[in-house]
């Protein structure tokens, strides 16, 4: 009779452990959607890239203020048009899906973005983190984090060189 409470406790613990909900996933439809979106970005297939987002999706790029998908697309097109090559290092990427405590579906992506500027052949490697929320298979919120210091500096250097070249051309024409 003295062992009955211990046996009951053991059964309760066993049942409690079996009801544990899986929260972390290495494979899911959402992960495949994000991978497809990354591939569309890397190939410049902007219609396919945009198709992964809900119409009301919000994108946060190193900011607490959201932008629309249209604005993000405009920014991506401007950035990639200045590059002769760009994309992620897929050999060292990490991706997982998480069901958080509110049962929201998030996919987290860590990788290094590689880019080569067309104007001067300068190469940059920038670590990037994406936190992407999905509802009904569509991206409804995306947070993009990276240190843009080197990239912004390179864009400024290229812009300054273009202005200097334009000034030199005007001076030589006079």
Report if pTM > 0.85: no
Could you give the number of structural domains in the chain? 1
Average pLDDT, 10 consecutive residues per value, the chain (174 residues): 67 63 91 98 98 97 97 96 96 95 96 94 96 98 94 81 68 67
Q: What is the pLDDT of residue 47?
A: 98
Q: What is the pLDDT of residue 22?
A: 85
SS3 content of the chain, % helix, strand, coil (to 5): 45, 35, 20
Q: What is the pLDDT of residue 3?
A: 74
Q: Is residue 99 part of a domain?
A: yes
Q: Is residue 90 part of a domain?
A: yes
Q: How many CB atoms lie within 10 A of CB 148?
A: 12
Q: How many CB atoms lie within 10 A of CB 59?
A: 20
Q: Is residue 41 part of a domain?
A: yes
- Structural domain span for residue 61: 23-146
Q: What is the pLDDT of residue 18?
A: 59
Q: Is residue 131 part of a domain?
A: yes
Q: Is residue 104 part of a domain?
A: yes
What CATH code is carried by the domain that includes residue 115? 3.10.450.50
Q: What is the pLDDT of residue 157?
A: 82
Q: Is residue 102 part of a domain?
A: yes
Q: Is residue 112 part of a domain?
A: yes
Name the one residue in this structure whose structure tokens are 């999706």: 57
109/96 Cα distance (integer angstroms): 7
Give the list of residues 6+ apart from residue 22 with CB closer than 8 angstroms, or none: 99
Q: Is residue 77 part of a domain?
A: yes
């Amino acid at each position: 009779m003295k062992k009955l409470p211990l046996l009951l406790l053991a059964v309760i613990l066993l049942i409690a452990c079996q009801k544990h909900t899986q929260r972390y996933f290495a494979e899911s439809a959402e992960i495949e959607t994000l991978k497809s979106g990354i591939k569309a970005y890397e190939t410049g297939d902007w219609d396919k890239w945009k198709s992964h987002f809900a119409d009301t999706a919000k994108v946060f790029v190193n900011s607490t203020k959201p932008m629309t998908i249209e604005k993000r697309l405009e920014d991506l097109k401007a950035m990639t048009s200045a590059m002769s090559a760009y994309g992620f290092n897929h050999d060292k990427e990490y991706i997982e899906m998480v069901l958080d405590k509110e049962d929201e579906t998030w996919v987290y992506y860590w990788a290094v973005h590689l880019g080569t500027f067309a104007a001067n052949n300068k190469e940059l490697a920038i670590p990037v983190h994406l936190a992407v929320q999905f509802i009904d298979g569509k991206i409804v919120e995306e947070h993009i984090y990276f240190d843009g210091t080197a990239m912004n500096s390179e864009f400024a250097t290229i812009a300054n060189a273009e202005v200097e070249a334009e000034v030199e051309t005007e001076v030589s024409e006079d």
